[in-house]
Amino acid sequence: MFKLNLKIALRNLWKNGGITSINVGGLAIALAAFILVMMYVTYETTFDKGNPNYDNIYIVGRTMPEFKTNYTPPPLGKAIKQNFPEVMAVGTLKKGGFEFAISSDANTAFASNYLMVDYEAAKMLQLLPNEELAKPANEEGILFFLAKESMMTLFPKKKDDKPELVTLGSKAAGQTAEVKGTISVNKHSNVTFDALSVRKELGKNENYGYNNYNTYIQVKSGTDIAALEQKINTLYKNELIKDGQDVSTDRYKQTTIFLDPLKNQHLKPMAGNNAAYKVLIALSVLAMLILLIACINFTNLSIAQATKRAKEVGVKKVLGVYRYQLTFQFLTEILMQCVVATILGLLIAELLMPKFNALFNVSLSIWSANNALLYQLPLILLAITFIAGIYPAMVLSGFKPSLVLKGNFQTSRNTYWLRNSLLIVQFSVAVIFITSLLIISTQLKYMRTQDVGFNANQVVYIKNIMMFSDPRVFEPVRQKIMRIPGIKSVTVATGIPDGSENGSNGYTVNGVEASIDFLDVDFDYFETLDIKLADGRFFNKAFKTDTANSAIINESAAAKYGLTDPIGKTIRGCSMDYKIVGVVKDFKAQGFETPVQPTLYSIKNPCGNAKTQLMLKIDQDQMSEAIATLKAQWPDINKMDGDNFRYYFLNDLYGKLFQKQEQLQSVFFAAALLTIFIATLGLFAFAKYMTNNRMKEIAVRKVLGASDVQILKLLNSSFFAMVIIANCISWPLAYVLTKKWLETFAYRIDIPVLPFLISAAVTILLTVLTVSIQAAKAVKANPVNALKYE
Amino acid sequence: MIALKDIEKYYASKGVKSYILRHVSTVINQGEFVSIMGPSGAGKSTLLNIIGMLEEPTYGEYKFMDEDVISLSERKRIELYRNHIGFVFQAYHLIDEMTVAENIEAPLLYKKVGGSERKSRVADMLDRFNMVGKKDLFPSQLSGGQQQLVGIARALAAQPSIILADEPTGNLQSAQALQIMELFKKLNKEDGITIIQVTHSEVNAAYGSRILHLLDGVIKEDVRL
Ligand SMILES: Nc1ncnc2c1ncn2[C@@H]1O[C@H](COP(=O)(O)OP(=O)(O)OP(=O)(O)O)[C@@H](O)[C@H]1O
Ligand SMILES: [Mg+2]
């Protein structure tokens, strides 16, 4: 019997070949999207999952009054280990902080993500070199490892595992070190690095003031984490007193310890934001919606075809077939189509994989071993078969033979509402995606075209670790650079406008104290970036006081202190009395999401970091020659860090701020395209079916004298109504969703009307077109042919 | 074989009951060839459907081979379909996606008849109805009369004890109709199969052994020929 059912199924699918392939094709495309997203979700949620103690590792962090941080002092870890037996291991880590060069005789590689760990951390977090990690013998022993790529660069011919000698930093400084070996870096981990050093102990002589380490603990299974957190908190406070730290401040009183599980570190760390997590959820929802739409196509078409199959059901029932057998038969038919769709979906996913990987900056592969897809895919297959098939199977198998066999049986009335609602759902989702896509694009266009208050074009940023905090040290460097033709200005600062955050501190003007940002600059900073002056003047070498105590503030700072005439006022902070010599217009150094912070710019700042970030304004026409000359002369210009000239264009760096939004735009573009495509496919097949069904009615109407246009109108009207309803449902939803998204920007557009109108136009046009193509056939057909049958 | 007692059937719409069948009582024995006649809308199809258990009466008792049909479970009813009842329809109702041979074979599959037995019975039927050359054609490739022959062959393949036929010749020319009637008569005489048919034609009814005249849901006449 199964064989016969199979035969019937195949003949049926064959006969309705067009509809079947549309159905299966749409589902395959949706499945491809779903597979990609699911692989990505699996990847993102399983960081460090390979660690055997995955569930028992926590990072120790501190909750401060304004923020949470994972930075802890090194003695804390040791105290935890000594006091709490439930803590099995404590690992301490420290990040290198700056990029440095590693050179062999042959080549130079750069370590931009240097990590220092103690032996226990290396063990706990599985930072294991290719050969067995030996415990460093003595206190001073440092085991230095390099990632494979760097090692290949430095020693291209290396075959053995023997240690090698390298120079660290500038060759002139001549600091050598021994590389113990290569280490494979697990990109699928929260702890990544390109160079790693392992010591017996880290931060040995540092006290509780050195909050620049990370502390990981591994607890025994079943430990009460909340209680342990409390105990560590108490311990921390006591230790601070013992250590002689100032415990009278509010800052101390409000600081508490938290434990954050390793499994949350990648997506939703306590110290940090959960944006990645939200993106992941949004993506999953998108993928599920697309799959749902494809399933709806299936359901819809299966029900639409019910009339054809009704007779088969009726006959089989009077021949003695149970209902469950029929249900099973129809489910099997749908399962067969779903299997084909899944295989096609896998192929499509494979084709799209490179694009997807590039967009999300991952390197996923379908064919990798121990792929979670292995068990996910059969589950999805069953799920979609069930979702898409259960309703039609129930409807079909439930037909009463006495009704069906009467002859003039019509299913359409029973399932009219369901089918129409399903179509409306499909179009609603499509409208939401189109509208959102258009609004996202409008905001992005706004961000790209809006005046950001400074000009990043033709500004070149040069990587450097040499400190140029003192303008007198920098002046000779500037002069050498300025001699190169095409260079218009040169400056150095503690930061560049690429979205990076500035330091903040309390400053007082006229007795008003406020916490504002500060940035340390050199002469020509504002000129290089083409920032507009609102009042007063820029820094100028002609004024001796500018290197001593002059300050420039931005308009936001002036507003924050309520200054109407800031020039000449004294602003006090960081044990300095600055005199305000200028006010600059606000510029969006941090991008569009956060508002421009009130900021103080000064040349001298005892509280600031070292000025290392060089920026050059170069004439566009002489750009390539100027850069070539710079490169050639760099060792001479920057004596201490001149071995390696590396530069970036500032507009590229600033453009990275838009990356996340551009990613979102791409995702919505794909989602909108997919839903429209799949929904239109469904509509196409559905319209085809409906028209075929109404052939006789159309013929009768034509014989009665209806014009072609009247018939086209008749066939279009119900679909037209559905699209209108779908638009009405989706507009408010799209409005709320995009409004929420826009609210994450400090600088944003008002929601425009056009996207709503466009998505309405697009969906209406597509519908009318799709339906009319089908309807035209019916209209053109000779009524005699349709009436001859029966 | 069939005992109907006080069968009533009505549809209630907007509180008004419209009766289709009223006080229908009759007994049909094994081996009878009964024709149900009457004007259009009299309730003939409804009565046949009730006999075939495709519809349930609103009231009344119905015993099929001494079993109370009203309280019959679906499982039991399907057993009866498989083993005792064969249906023949005015619109043939062959399964379009099955070939002639497959259509005839279908009920045997559901009855779980063994493979070789099935083959021989199908071959037998094809032979009997002169359809051997057409066994791999699909229903749409046959004439109406041929389709109805396949319909009857399908009903007979399961070796039923009763055949229920609703206007089996309604769509056929009289020559073909007579051929079908001859066949029914032969099946009734030679194989002892009980036949109940609905027909509008006096000529067709004359092939049977008994006529039930139905008018407005009431049996007006019960004529034995
Ligand atoms: N589902 C229903 N709801 C209401 N009335 C119904 C329904 N089904 C049938 N009827 C009515 O029952 C009556 C009898 O129908 P039936 O099909 O038994 O007639 P018939 O004698 O077979 O007629 P014909 O010779 O035209 O086939 C008809 O008047 C019909 O309108
Ligand atoms: Mg009838």
ipTM of the complex: 0.82
A713 found inside a domain: yes
- The answer to whether the beta carbons of residues A405 and A311 sit under 8 Å apart is yes
Cβ neighbours around A612 below 10 Å, total = 19
CA distances, A163 to each of A115, A185, A648, B85 (Å): 19, 18, 34, 91
- CA dihedral A332→A333→A335→A339, nearest 10 degrees, is 130
- Work out the pLDDT band at A93, boundaries 50, 70, 90: very high
Place of tokens 């490739």: B141
pLDDT at B63: 94
Q: How many domains does chain A have?
A: 3
- For strands B67-68 and A512-520, give the pairing: unpaired
Q: What is the mean pLDDT of residues A649-668?
A: 86
The ligand minimizing its distance to the Cα of B47 is 1
Q: Among the three residues A227, A245, A264, which one is the final residue of a domain in this structure?
A: A264
Backbone torsions φ then ψ of A209, nearest 5 degrees: -85, -15
The answer to whether A316 contacts B110, with C-beta atoms less than 8 Å apart, is yes
- The answer to whether the beta carbons of residues A559 and A511 sit under 8 Å apart is no
Q: Is the dihedral of CA A321, A325, A327, A330 positive or negative?
A: negative
> Distance between terminal CA atoms of chain A?
31
Closest CA to A191 of A132, A102, A121, A87: A121
Set of chain A residues whose Cβ sits within 8 Å of the Cβ of B52:
318
The answer to whether A312 contacts B111, with C-beta atoms less than 8 Å apart, is no
Set of chain B residues whose Cβ sits within 8 Å of the Cβ of A313:
none
pLDDT at A139: 66
Locate the chain B residue with the closest alpha carbon to A315. B93
A452 found inside a domain: no
Kindly give, in sequence order, each residue whose CB lies less than 8 Å from that of residue A42, ignoring residues fewer than 6 positions away.
A372, A376
- Work out the pLDDT band at A140, boundaries 50, 70, 90: low
Q: pLDDT tens digits, residue range A383-414? A: 989 888 888 888 888 888 887 777 555 555 56
Q: Supply the mean pLDDT for chain B.
A: 90
Same domain, A367 and A502: no
Same domain, A676 and A637: no
- Work out the pLDDT band at A789, boundaries 50, 70, 90: very low
The answer to whether A8 contacts B97, with C-beta atoms less than 8 Å apart, is yes
- Work out the pLDDT band at A648, boundaries 50, 70, 90: very high
Closest CA to A722 of A384, A354, A416: A416
Q: What is the mean pLDDT of residues A144-168?
A: 83
pLDDT at B194: 96
pLDDT at A790: 42
The ligand minimizing its distance to the Cα of B217 is 1
- Find the chain B residues whose C-beta atoms sit closer than 8 A to any C-beta of A: 45, 49, 52, 54-55, 74-75, 78-79, 81-83, 85, 87, 89-91, 93-98, 102, 105-107, 109-111, 154, 158
CA distance B107 to chain A (A): 5
Q: pLDDT tens digits, residue range A209-254? A: 788 889 999 999 989 999 999 999 999 988 888 887 777 777 677 8
A343 found inside a domain: yes
Where does A657-753 have alpha helices with state H?
A: 659-703, 708-742
Secondary structure tally for chain A: helices H, strands E: 22, 24
Kindly give, in sequence order, each residue whose CB lies less than 8 Å from that of residue B84, ignoring residues fewer than 6 positions away.
B64, B65, B160, B161, B162
Same domain, A537 and A439: no
For residue B7, list its beta bridge partners: B24
Please give the DSSP secondary-structure letter assigned to residue B204. Answer: H
Q: Is the dihedral of CA A139, A141, A145, A150 positive or negative?
A: positive
Angle between helices A659-703 and A754-780 (to 10 degrees): 30
Closest CA to B168 of B202, B193, B196, B191: B196
pLDDT at A537: 94
Rounded CA gap, A380 and A384, in Å? 6
Rounded CA gap, A382 and A731, in Å? 34
Q: Which of A1, A8, A322 sits opposite B78 (nearest CB)?
A: A322
Backbone torsions φ then ψ of A572, nearest 5 degrees: -115, 135
* Structural domain that includes position A408: 2-43+275-447+659-787
A571 found inside a domain: yes
DSSP letters along A518-537, please? EEE--TTHHHHHTPPEEEE-
A453 found inside a domain: no
Same domain, A27 and A67: no
The answer to whether A319 contacts B85, with C-beta atoms less than 8 Å apart, is no
Closest CA to A61 of A72, A50, A53, A48: A72
Same domain, A292 and A413: yes
**Atom 25 in ligand 1: residue holding the nearest Cα:** B40
Rounded CA gap, A14 and A153, in Å? 59
A351 found inside a domain: yes
Rounded CA gap, A397 and A412, in Å? 16
Ligand 2 mean position to A308 CA, how many Å?
22
Closest CA to A218 of A267, A261, A257, A186: A261
**Atom 27 in ligand 1: residue holding the nearest Cα:** B40
A269 found inside a domain: no
Closest CA to A23 of A286, A288, A304, A283: A304
pLDDT at A736: 94
Q: How many residues does chain A have?
A: 790
CA distances, A362 to each of A211, A355, A432, A665 (Å): 32, 10, 28, 18
Q: Ligand 1 pocket test: which of B45, B89, B169, B218 has the largest number of ligand atoms within 8 Å of its C-beta?
A: B45
Same domain, A205 and A347: no
Same domain, A409 and A475: no
- Work out the pLDDT band at A463, boundaries 50, 70, 90: confident
Mapping DSSP onto H, E and C, the string for A30-50 reads: HHHHHHHHHHHHHHHHCCCCC
CB-based burial, A625-658: b 16+ in 10 Å, e otherwise: ebbebbeebbbebbeebbbbbebebbeebbeebb
pLDDT at B179: 87
Same domain, A649 and A671: no
For residue A459, list its beta bridge partners: A617
Token representation of residue A727:
């638009």
Q: Is A454 helix (H, G, I), strand (E, B) or coil?
A: coil
Q: What is the mean pLDDT of residues A178-197?
A: 87
- For strands A487-493 and A613-618, give the pairing: antiparallel
Q: pLDDT tens digits, residue range A691-748? A: 777 777 777 777 777 777 888 888 888 889 999 999 999 999 999 999 998 998 899 9
**Atom 2 in ligand 1: residue holding the nearest Cα:** B11
Same domain, A501 and A380: no
- The answer to whether the beta carbons of residues A461 and A649 sit under 8 Å apart is yes
* % of chain B residues with pLDDT over 70: 100
For residue A512, list its beta bridge partners: A509
> What letter represents residue A223's amino acid?
T
Q: Ligand 1 pocket test: which of B7, B13, B16, B20 has the largest number of ligand atoms within 8 Å of its C-beta?
A: B20
Same domain, A60 and A10: no
The answer to whether B95 contacts A322, with C-beta atoms less than 8 Å apart, is no
The answer to whether A319 contacts B82, with C-beta atoms less than 8 Å apart, is yes
Q: Ligand 1 pocket test: which of B7, B8, B9, B11 has the largest number of ligand atoms within 8 Å of its C-beta?
A: B11
Cβ neighbours around A249 below 10 Å, total = 10
- For strands B67-68 and B59-64, give the pairing: antiparallel
Q: pLDDT tens digits, residue range B2-41? A: 999 999 999 888 888 899 999 999 999 999 999 999 999 9
Same domain, A244 and A100: yes
Q: Is the dihedral of CA A80, A81, A85, A86 positive or negative?
A: positive
Q: Among the three residues A213, A238, A264, which one is the final residue of a domain in this structure?
A: A264
Q: How many residues does chain B have?
A: 225
Structural domains in chain B, CATH included, are 32-44+73-224 (3.40.50.300)
CA distances, B164 to each of A720, B35, B100, B194 (Å): 47, 10, 21, 9
Q: Answer with the residue of higher pLDDT: B159 or A607.
A: B159
Closest ligand 1 atom to Cα of B214: 21
- The answer to whether the beta carbons of residues A150 and A127 sit under 8 Å apart is no
- Give the 3-state secondary structure percentages of chain B, helix then strand then coil, rounded to 5: 35, 30, 35
Q: Among the three residues A239, A264, A289, which one is the final residue of a domain in this structure?
A: A264
pLDDT at B6: 94
CA distances, A64 to each of A69, A243, A277, A501, B20 (Å): 7, 19, 23, 18, 85
- For strands A175-179 and A164-168, give the pairing: antiparallel
The answer to whether A318 contacts B109, with C-beta atoms less than 8 Å apart, is no
Q: pLDDT tens digits, residue range B68-120? A: 988 888 888 888 888 899 999 888 888 888 899 999 998 888 888 888 999 99
Set of chain A residues whose Cβ sits within 8 Å of the Cβ of B98:
4, 7-8
Same domain, A294 and A394: yes
A363 found inside a domain: yes
Set of chain A residues whose Cβ sits within 8 Å of the Cβ of B74:
322-323
Which residues does ligand 1 sit against, CB inside 6 Å?
B 11, 20, 38, 40-46
Rounded CA gap, A586 and A596, in Å? 7
Token representation of residue A562:
């309520």
pLDDT at A370: 62
